[in-house]
């Protein structure tokens, strides 16, 4: 059965989406401050890791848990649901621009939702 990742277009789609998504996140006044001062490599790890995950892609990510990766942001910078909502919105806008059908966008948002509590340190 083909996964959402395959349906969206696999790694090529992730690569196409990374640049667009990055521009939206950094232009988004609700969340851009979380990325201030991060080097490009870390930025890229976040964007690509986020998109691959949201597309249900191959789980090559071997870094920290979602909770550990975002703990400082929650504890020191007040990362909360409103910021999570903003990222999901930017993801949706990115995929609309790439011509991804609505039902696949909804699927990607659903996958991202599945780690909301972990990212926000609620378990």
Binding residue positions: 70
Cα–Cα distance, 26 to 59 (Å, whole number): 26
Binding residues for heme: 70
Answer yes or no whether residue 112 interacts with ligand HEM by CB under 6 A.
yes
Residue from 4, 16, 26, 46 touching ligand HEM (CB under 6 A): that is 46
**Residue 20: both structure tokens together:** 């667009």
28-40 exposure pattern, b = at least 16 Cβ within 10 A, e = fewer: beebeebeeeeee
- Asked whether the beta carbons of 73 and 61 are under 8 A apart, the reply is no
Answer yes or no whether residue 8 interacts with ligand HEM by CB under 6 A.
no
Cα–Cα distance, 121 to 101 (Å, whole number): 32
Answer yes or no whether residue 5 interacts with ligand HEM by CB under 6 A.
no
**Residue 62: both structure tokens together:** 């071997």
Supply the DSSP string of 11-26, one letter for each residue.
HHHHHHHHHHHHHHHH
Nearest-approach distance from CB 102 to ligand HEM, in angstroms? 19
Answer yes or no whether residue 34 interacts with ligand HEM by CB under 6 A.
yes
Nearest-approach distance from CB 75 to ligand HEM, in angstroms? 12
Binding site for ligand HEM (CB under 6 A): 31, 34-35, 38, 42, 45-46, 49-50, 53, 61, 63-64, 69-70, 73, 79, 83-84, 87, 112, 115, 119
């Amino acid at each position: 059965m083909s996964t959402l990742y395959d349906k969206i277009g696999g790694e090529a789609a992730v690569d196409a989406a990374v640049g667009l998504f990055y521009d939206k996140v950094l232009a988004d006044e609700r969340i851009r401050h979380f990325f201030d001062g991060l080097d490009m490599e870390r930025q890229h790890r976040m964007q690509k890791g986020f998109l691959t995950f949201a597309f249900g892609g191959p789980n090559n990510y071997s870094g920290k848990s979602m909770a550990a990766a975002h703990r400082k942001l929650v504890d020191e910078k007040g990362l909360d649901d409103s910021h999570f909502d903003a990222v999901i919105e930017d993801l949706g806008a990115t995929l609309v621009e790439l011509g991804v059908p609505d039902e696949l966008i909804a699927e990607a948002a659903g996958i991202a939702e599945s780690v909301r509590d972990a990212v926000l340190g609620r378990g």
